[in-house]
Amino acid sequence: MTQLPEAEVTRKGLASEVVGKRVTSTEVTTASLVRHQRNRPELYKRLEGRKISGASRRGTAVMLELEDDTTFVIQMGSRAWITHHKASATPDKTVRMVLLFASSGALHYHDQNKDGALFVVGDDEVDELPELAPGGIDPLADVFTWQAFSSKLVELGLPLRAALVDRRVLLGLGDVYADEILWTAGISGARDASQLSAQEVRRLYRGVLEVINEAVKQGGASASETQERTEEDDPDDVPSSFLRVHGRQGEPCPRCRHAVQLEDVAGHLSFHCPQCQT
């Protein structure tokens, strides 16, 4: 699943591979992914001939800044990834967009569930887009302080496990990292998010930073998606080696050796340790 760390790894790849290149042609095979533009030709017109001047990110949207003060937004789908190729490479079945560059090379946008979005907007419009500003904090950017995090948790008053994956609290976190963050902090996801002590919020805050930064360093939990893979591969079935509890039902907890459980916590199937997460 594409979450914040995977989007950040994608942004880094784009920053080193395509910044400075000029788009010569674009092809989108799934028309429903195009938003804010009337149709695909209108999107192509806003991309073709433009040079890419930077790569940024907000939540799971990666953005290519174009030289004419516009931004190409790639809102990554729930199972999406980007690969870099020679211009002559044949796109596989999951590719929904191909960008070709003047200096040779191609970028393939893969989107297994076809639920991402592709569009170009003016730089000044980016902040106004409701899909990019759902109110949550981006823990890798913005001013992410434990106090700001604390007030978001109190405001919504949800069970903790639900609050961590709510876009009004944090951007781009899904089940994998929510499980890891709660385990790292040693807190149960069933707890009421508005009832944590200041010390517990700080532990959770440190857990968010630790887990997210480690995941970026490791290339994301679904790093295999950026390499060659087959249709049968399901990245969620194979726990990445740096994950401590997610996908590890029945294995001993790395902290207390009690078996890791898979249970419904606040409406979310969660991997957790019932002994040391309290």
**What is the C-alpha separation between 121 and 74, in angstroms, rounded?**
11
What stretch of H or E contains 63? strand 61-66
CB-CB neighbours of 257 under 10 Å: 11
Residue type, 58: R
Q: Does 255 bind Zn ion (CB under 5 A)?
A: yes
Instruction: Please classify residue 60 by burial: count the beta carbons closer than 10 Å to its beta carbon, then call 0-12 exposed, 13-18 middle and 19+ buried.
Output: buried
* Least distance from Zn ion to the Cβ atom of residue 117, Å: 39
Q: Is 182 in the site for Zn ion (CB under 5 A)?
A: no
Number of residues lying near Zn ion (CB under 5 A):
7
- Residue 273 as a binder of Zn ion (CB under 5 A): the answer is yes
Pick the closer one to Zn ion by CB: 3 or 277.
277
CB of 257 to Zn ion, least distance (A): 7
Select the span of 123-131, 163-171, 186-194, 251-259 touching Zn ion (CB under 5 A). Answer: 251-259
Q: Does 262 bind Zn ion (CB under 5 A)?
A: no
CA atoms within a 13 Å half-sphere pointing along the CA-CB vector of 12: 13
Choose, by CB under 5 A, the member of 31, 256, 259, 269 that binds Zn ion.
Answer: 256
Angle, vertex CA 8, rays to CA 175 and CA 41, nearest 5: 100
**In angstroms, what is the minimal distance from the CB of 245 to Zn ion?**
8
Of 118 and 253, the one with the shorter C-beta distance to Zn ion is: 253
Q: Where are the alpha helices (DSSP H) in the chain?
A: 4-17, 40-47, 146-156, 160-164, 175-185, 198-217
- Is residue 253 near Zn ion by the rule CB under 5 A? yes
Enumerate the β-bridge partners of residue 82.
Answer: 109
Residue 10 token pair: 């994608």
185 CB-near residues (< 8 Å, 6+ apart): 200, 203, 204, 206, 207
Q: Which is nearer to Zn ion, 33 or 273 (CB)?
A: 273
Strand-pair partners of 97:
28, 109
- C-beta closer to Zn ion: residue 168 or 255: 255
At its nearest, how many Å lie between Zn ion and the CB of residue 260?
Answer: 8
CB of 187 to Zn ion, least distance (A): 12
Among residues 83 and 188, whose Cβ is nearest to Zn ion? Answer: 188
Residue 276 near Zn ion by CB under 5 A: yes
Residue window 75-114: x/- pattern of binding to Zn ion, with contact defined by CB under 5 A: ----------------------------------------
227 class by beta-carbon count within 10 Å (0-12 exposed, 13-18 middle, 19+ buried): exposed
Q: For residue 31, state whether it binds Zn ion (rule: CB under 5 A).
A: no
State which residue, 87 or 259, has the beta carbon closest to Zn ion. 259
By CB under 5 A, residue 14 contacts Zn ion: no
Residues forming contacts to Zn ion in the complex (CB under 5 A) are 253, 255-256, 258, 273, 275-276
